[in-house]
Amino acid sequence: MPTKVIMPQMGESIAEGTVVKWLKKVGERVERDEPLLEISTDKVDAEIPSPASGVLTQILAVENQTVEVNAVIGWIDGEGAGAGESAGAATEKVAAVPARPERAPSAPGRTLSDLLPASGGVIRSSPLVQRLAVENDVDLRLVKGTGLGGRISKRDVLEYVAQRKTGTAPASPAVTAPVAPVSATQAITFTGPELVVPMTPIRRQIAEHMVASRRTSAHVSTVFDVEMTCIADVLTKYGDEFERRHGLKLTFTPFFIRACVTAIRDFPIINSSVDGTNIIYKRDVNVGVAVAMESGLIVPVIKNAGDKSFLDLARAVKDLAERARTKHLSVEDVQGGTFTISNPGVFGGLFGTPIINQPQVAILCVGAIEKRPVVRDDAIAIRLMTYLEMSFDHRVIDGAVANQFMSRLKSILDNWDEPVM
């Protein structure tokens, strides 16, 4: 039975991926879950396992080709039948890609940063393309990208090198790859009263995901004021020893994760999803922690968070955050979440009302942790406080249950008594 090899969804806002390298050739046998190919996206570089055992009979997306997520990029025949015919077609497809020319000497002192646009412009390309540009002394600003969203492919660079040899390559930066802002922090140059820029594939995917969630779930929010004094005392008392003993800094994040996991045990509806008229309760608590990056948002997931120790949670938070920012997350790292925590407080936001990450039914938003005047024992006192907001799906979670969950969460954090060492 033939099995499709598809470009996986590597996070909620990923719309496309680039095939970096096929680890198997057409006609070769591959076992299920054996590494089959390497892909690269704007957020994640990953090794993709084979979805089935069999013979790789066809490759539809050649190396350095960019395709949309869920597109079929190859076929595996579980019985090995028809491999010869499919292999011939695939070989012909691969052969159509220009061969890599002999390495051209780079100009003295030229580096990758010299061949990429200055701040304010973005040229979309893979690490492989960037290395190829350096090796052949190609200014990527002069190369027209033919991939999705104007991404520059290996083929584009090689064609530019061939044109340069014949004297037909663009010689002026006026001919550039499609450049579009992809973050709110990038500079924009206006030549008139307005600047119209198409959404990037990532931005379109985020938009579709958010609108679909709003259309699917009945969003309701509740906000609680939580005191962080006990946890701050733990950080002060044990922070240095924790870092010396375990090699990682003690932060607030694992406290929130632990508190959520504990509260979910008392209110399992928070860790559920909806399928038609059925509510699906999830045994494992898989907590997604939103990480903001220049190209968008990604939510790596801490699997089985309810079975982990406090130290395990702290290690998982550090590991996933580092790999998210260095684009080393795997497919499994961004799938299977059952509850999400977002933390706009790191940017100073008091609280937010985030949209639920489908198919989940709740998302917690952590606001800025700061000192504020509060009333304690009929007197004004200065305490370290934060606002916690939860957006929840009112189709399955009543307001009373949501507020009971938040009250339990507040009690755990206000009166933290779990050892961290």
Q: Looking at the annotation, which residues are catalytic? A: 394, 398
Are 231 and 255 within 8 A, CB to CB? yes
Residue 91 gets the label, from left (phi > 0), alpha (psi -120 to 50) or beta, of alpha
Largest Cα separation within the chain, whole Å, is 84
Task: List Cβ neighbours of 175 (8 Å cut-off, separation of 6 or more).
Answer: 142, 144
Q: Is the peptide bond before 359 cis (omega within 30 degrees of 0)?
A: yes
Cα-based angle 330, 335, 337 (whole degrees, multiple of 5): 135
Q: What are phi and psi of 242, to 5 degrees?
A: -60, -45
Cα–Cα distances in Å, from 298 out to 13, 36, 341, 344, 390? 7, 24, 12, 14, 19
Q: Report the distance separating Cα 255 and Cα 237, nearest Å.
A: 15
Q: How far apart are CA 269 and CA 200, in angstroms?
A: 36
Which is nearest to 48 in space by CA: 58, 38, 57? 38
Contacts of 210 by beta carbon, 8 Å cutoff, 6+ apart: 355
Supply φ then ψ for residue 332, to 5 degrees: -65, -25
266's tokens: 């008392």
